[in-house]
Structure 1
Amino acid sequence: MMETARAKPVALPAPDCDLLTGIEQVAQWYGITEGQVRARIAHGEIVVFKIAGRNTIYALKSDQNDLWKKQAETYRAI
């Protein structure tokens, strides 16, 4: 019988740490796939940044929460 490949678990930072490092951590935090994260970044639904000279993306949990709050307020105002 052939074994199926299992995804390596991604460690999230401590709950009091605001920084998510890399697509893998962002996907883990949202509970979605890396492909879904890339699509949401492309559509501006997930706020990310890069440090000059690096390819790694970073996201702040607080920025994501602020974005969700603004969207909820906009939705309620309709």
Structure 2
Amino acid sequence: MKKQLPEENKELTMEQRKGQETAASMEAEKVDPTVVSVPIDLVLAAYQCISEASHKRSWLEITSLMNELQKYLPQDGS
């Protein structure tokens, strides 16, 4: 029985760690509700498109990317 007691304590510690990680994750989500998740390739394409806007990209291309990005922004009243 002496060998089982430390294992039980180790499992409890692991459960506590999982609980702390979950609590920390939930707390992080509450910190800033304005943060949105956007695919990085879409952000990079928009940045590149805007940075080259006056030289190489068409306004139609820029508008299309901006409309795609806008889908990820929080909507008013929701």
Q: Could you say which TM-score interval applies, normalised by the shorter chain?
A: under 0.3
Query: Which structure has more strand as a fraction of its residues?
Result: 1
Length-normalised TM-score, structure 1: 0.27
The structure with more radius of gyration = 2
Length-normalised TM-score, structure 2: 0.27
Greater length-normalized contact order (CA 8 Å, ≥ 6 residues apart): 2
Query: Which structure has more helix as a fraction of its residues?
Result: 2
